[in-house]
Amino acid sequence: MYPSSEKRFLIVNMLAIISLFLVILAGGIVRSSGSGMGCPDWPKCFDRYVPPTSIEQLPEGYKERYVAKRVAKNNRFAKMLDMFGYRELAQRIRDDKSILEPEAFNAGKTWTEYVNRLVGALSGLFLIACLIFSVTYLKSRKRIFLLSFANLILVGFQGWLGSIVVSTNLLAWVVTVHMLLALLIIGISIYTFFQARMLRDRNLLASKPAKNVRVFAIAAFAVTIIQIILGSEVRESIDAIADSMGQFNRSEWVAKVGTVFNVHRDLALLVFILNSVTFFMIRGRYVLNGMQFRYASVIMLVLLLQIITGIVLAYLALPAVAQAIHIFLATLLFGAQLYLLLLLKRNKLYRKLAR
């Protein structure tokens, strides 16, 4: 039985996890549709709490004003890079003339970005609630409170980094860091949820030692993270190619990516093999109605869908919807693999009985 205070934490933690996955999906839609500058200011959108739907509703002189704000933000970021010794990169940001070109108003893109912000704000509220309700674990499991606090700080940094991603026209390495930070935030939320559940329900843990199962599961998890990094780099290359070709000849973009795409595509086979071996090892070692087998099955289903979307992207000229779904599924795969790894920890009760 869970005390009411712990039940509240578990509920808001689960809602936080769901909202974080939705943020990834919304962010993928924003990026694939090119809606990042749909709202050029923050926290309002064109100086409005409810975004405009027509050009008549836009504030006077908005283009010049928002371009000036964007330049100022990039200069502050460049100054920070100078402080850390990245002078060449800082100068490249200062010399980027593309930021001087104002984004044309598009109601669809504006509302796409606005919905993305709403989902992000919702996830932030859930994480604040997680921190508040995690106080109940200060005596029983302090790490839950500390990690909830750290996660809230990371989300604040992630929000700032997201604004830099858009302001600098998707600066390559910033996009990758942005994605990895999102995985870290989701990973912490999953870990705190598991720790809170395990505190009262030790039956979640494995009844048998994982042995080689855990080795394969860790290898699959590590390769998945590498794949996500490579996928981010592929996307960065696609963006550069699309710009160089004036957004035309979409069907030729993938062929021009080169080595990083080939490695990303070939490594997908290794991900499939490692997860398949893990699945069959769990199937043979644990009960079929146990949490370990359930999550192993979920992983295989998500992986299958991920491969299908990858094929669609490669051979059907990168449809925008498939891009967003592909990123979303990669994040789901990451989350399911992490939770499976936690579930493979052996219950100490069974360890004592085995002696």
pLDDT per residue as tens digits for the range 81-99: 888 887 887 888 888 777 7
Top mean-pLDDT range of 3-7, 25-29, 142-146, 207-211:
142-146
Give me the number of domains the chain comprises.
Answer: 2
Query: Residue 212 has what pLDDT?
Result: 87
Query: Residue 33 has what pLDDT?
Result: 83
Same domain, 32 and 179: yes
C-beta neighbour count of 118 within 10 angstroms: 11
Preceding amide of 51 cis, omega within 30? no
The CATH number for 294's domain is 1.20.120
Over residues 30-57, mean pLDDT: 85
Same domain, 224 and 193: no
The pLDDT tens digits for 186-238 are: 999 999 999 999 888 877 776 677 778 999 999 999 999 999 999 888 887 88
Last residue of a domain, one of 167, 185, 200: 200
Give the contacts of 207 (CB within 8 A, at least 6 positions apart): 286, 287, 290, 346, 347, 350
Same domain, 315 and 233: yes
Query: Residue 129 has what pLDDT?
Result: 97
Same domain, 210 and 333: yes
Same domain, 310 and 193: no
Return the amino acid letter for 345. K
Spacing of C-alpha 240 from chain mean position: 22
Provide the residue range defining the domain that includes 27. 1-200
Query: Residue 247 has what pLDDT?
Result: 74
Same domain, 4 and 139: yes
Q: Distance between CA 316 and CA 337 in Å, rounded?
A: 29
Last residue of a domain, one of 152, 174, 200: 200
Q: Distance between CA 247 and CA 250 in Å, rounded?
A: 7
Q: Distance between CA 115 and CA 35 in Å, rounded?
A: 11
Same domain, 138 and 184: yes
In sequence order, the β-bridge partners of residue 206 are 346
Same domain, 241 and 186: no
The pLDDT tens digits for 104-114 are: 889 999 999 99
Q: Residue 355 above 60 pLDDT?
A: no
Same domain, 162 and 290: no
Q: How many CA atoms lie within 13 A of 62 on its CB side?
A: 19
Query: What distances in angstroms separate CA 187 from CA 16, 119, 286, one per listed residue?
Result: 12, 18, 25
Q: Distance between CA 76 and CA 74 in Å, rounded?
A: 5
Query: Residue 346 has what pLDDT?
Result: 62
The pLDDT tens digits for 131-168 are: 999 999 999 999 999 999 999 999 999 888 887 777 77
Total-model pTM: 0.89
Average per-residue pLDDT in the chain?
87
Last residue of a domain, one of 177, 200, 223: 200
Same domain, 227 and 181: no
Same domain, 244 and 337: yes
Q: Distance between CA 129 and CA 13 in Å, rounded?
A: 8
The pLDDT tens digits for 278-335 are: 999 999 888 888 889 999 999 999 999 999 999 998 888 888 889 899 999 999 999 9
Same domain, 188 and 332: no
Query: Residue 167 has what pLDDT?
Result: 73
**pLDDT class of 351 with cuts at 50, 70, 90:** very low
Percent of the chain residues topping a pLDDT of 70: 95
Q: What b/e sequence results for 88-102 when a residue is b if at least 16 CB atoms lie within 10 Å of its CB, and e otherwise?
A: ebbeebbeeeebeee
